[in-house]
Amino acid sequence: MRIKRIGATVTAMLATLTGVALVNATPAAAVGGCDANQLCLYRSTQFRTMALETTKTSECWLLSDYGLTRPWNGISSYVNNLSVNATLYGYDGDWWNTGGIPSHSYSSDSTSNPWFGVSHYVCTGNATPWS
């Protein structure tokens, strides 16, 4: 009889603790302040100085319009919460793919990738700067 009461007490305590934990749980903050279903590019590391944010999944942007190329810092951190990849392109008389940002990825310091500083365009999905 005593074992049943102890078991019932432990079960009730666990249910109470679990209920309290669920009630007090807070949703995770968006990485870098970048909302779900957005691509966010930053001029500084650690997700500071957001320069470009978009929800579009098939479009291109000229990075110099956002201060995201030389002589500025380039893309120093990023968050890609889109369902599509983002592709970086350079141009020197011909277009070339300089790298990508996979969907559902982020980096608080992308400065070690030299292409993030010299690319001319970023495109989402299947968009290209020449189309």
> pLDDT per residue over 21-52, tens digit each?
333 333 345 788 999 999 999 999 999 999 99
Span of 9-23, 39-53, 64-78 with lowest mean pLDDT: 9-23
For residue 44, the model assigns a pLDDT of 94
DSSP output for the chain: -HHHHHHHHHHHHHHHHHHHHHHH--PPPPGGGPPTT-EEEESSSTT-SEEEEE--SS-EEEGGGGT-STTTT---EEEE-SSS-EEEEEESSSEEEEEEE-TTEEES--TT-THHHH--EEEETT--TT-
Q: pLDDT by residue (tens digit) across 79-130?
A: 999 999 999 999 999 999 999 999 999 999 999 998 898 899 999 999 999 9
In this predicted model, which residue has the larger pLDDT, 72 or 111? 111
Write down the architecture of domain 32-124 according to CATH. Answer: Sandwich (2.60)
The residue ranges of every structural domain in the chain are: 32-124
